[in-house]
Amino acid sequence: MALSPLATGAVTLPVEARKLRQEVRDFLAEERAAGTILGRPDSWLTGWDPAFTRRLAERGWVGMALPQEYGGGGRGNLERYVVIEELLAAGAPVSAHWVADRQAGPSILRHGTEHQREFYLPRIAAGECFFSIGMSEQNSGSDLASVQTRAERTAGGWRLTGTKMWTGGAHINDYAIVLARTEDSEDRHAGLSQFIVDLRAPRIRVEPIRLLTGEHTFNYFHLEGVEVGDDALLGRPGDGWRQVTGELALERSGPERFLSTLPLLTALVGQLQRAACSPEQHGRVGRLTARLASIRQLSLGVAAALEAGRPADVQAALVKDLGTRFEGELVGEVREVLPVAARFDATRGTYPELLAAAILHSPGYTLRGGTNEILRGIITRGLELNS
Amino acid sequence: MSTQSLFERAAAVLAAADETDATSETNKADGTDGTFGTGALGRPAASAPSLWRALRAADALPSLDTDPAVLVDLVCEAGRRATPAPLAETLLVARPLLAAAQLPVPDGPLTVASGPLDVRFAHVDTGSRVGPLGAGGTDDAVRVSGTLSRVPWARGADAVVVLTEGPSSGPMLLLLDAGQCRQVAGTNLAGEPRDELVLIDVAVPAERVRRVPAALVEEARWRAGLARAALIAGAARRCVELTVAHTSSRVQFGRPLSHFQAVKQEEAKLVEEAALIGAAVGAATAALAEPGAAEFPAWIAAAQASASVAEIARIAHQLHGAIGFTELSPLRLATTRMWSWRDEDGGEHAWQRRIGRRVVAAGGGDRLWPLVTGS
Ligand SMILES: Cc1cc2nc3c(=O)[nH]c(=O)nc-3n(C[C@H](O)[C@H](O)[C@H](O)COP(=O)(O)OP(=O)(O)OC[C@H]3O[C@@H](n4cnc5c(N)ncnc54)[C@H](O)[C@@H]3O)c2cc1C
3-class secondary structure, A37: coil
Q: In this complex, do B368 and A269 lie within 8 Å of one another by their Cβ atoms?
A: yes
Burial of A318 (0-12, 13-18, 19+ CB in 10 A): buried
pLDDT of A35: 92
Q: List pLDDT tens digits, range B221-254.
A: 999 999 999 999 999 999 999 999 999 999 999 9
Determine phi and psi for B144, rounding to 5 degrees: -125, 135
The per-residue pLDDT for range A38-47, each reduced to its tens digit, is 899 999 999 9
Convert the pLDDT of each residue in A170-209 to its tens digit. Answer: 999 999 999 999 999 999 999 999 999 999 999 999 999 9
Question: Residue A166: CB within 6 Å of ligand 1?
Answer: yes
Question: Does the complex come out with an ipTM higher than 0.90?
Answer: yes
Indicate whether residue A141 lines ligand 1 (CB < 6 A).
yes
d(CA B346, CA B174): 22
Whole-prediction pTM value? 0.94
Q: Which string of DSSP letters, residue by residue, matches A120-169?
A: HHHHHHTT---EEEE--BTTBSS-GGG---EEEE-SSEEEEEEEE-S-TT
E strand or H helix that includes residue A265 = helix A262-273
Cβ A370 under 6 angstroms from ligand 1: yes
Q: Report pLDDT digits (tens) over B292-338.
A: 899 999 999 999 999 999 999 999 999 999 999 999 999 999 999 99
Q: What's the pLDDT tens digit per position in A55-91?
A: 999 999 999 999 999 999 999 999 999 999 999 999 9
The answer to whether A297 touches B282, Cβ cutoff 8 Å, is yes
Q: Percentage of chain B with pLDDT > 70? A: 91
**How buried is residue A86: exposed, middle or buried, by Cβ count under 10 Å (0-12/13-18/19+)?**
buried
Min Cα distance A238 → chain B (Å) is 30
How does pLDDT run across A291-306, given as a tens digit for each residue? Answer: 999 999 999 999 999 8
Identity of residue A27: F
B264, B274, B354 ranked by CB distance to A6: nearest? B274
Write out pLDDT tens, residues B102-142.
999 999 999 999 999 999 999 998 887 777 777 788 899 99
Beta-ladder partners of B210: B173
Query: In 10 A of CB A72, how many CB atoms?
Result: 20
How close is the Cα of B42 to the center of ligand 1, in Å?
A: 46
Pairing of strands A192-198, A233-234: antiparallel
Choosing from A42, A107, A136 the residue with most ligand 1 atoms within 8 A of its CB, the one to mutate for a pocket test is A136
DSSP character for B89? I
Asked whether the beta carbons of A272 and A281 are under 8 A apart, the reply is yes
Q: Which backbone phi and psi does A209 adopt, to 5 degrees?
A: -120, 110
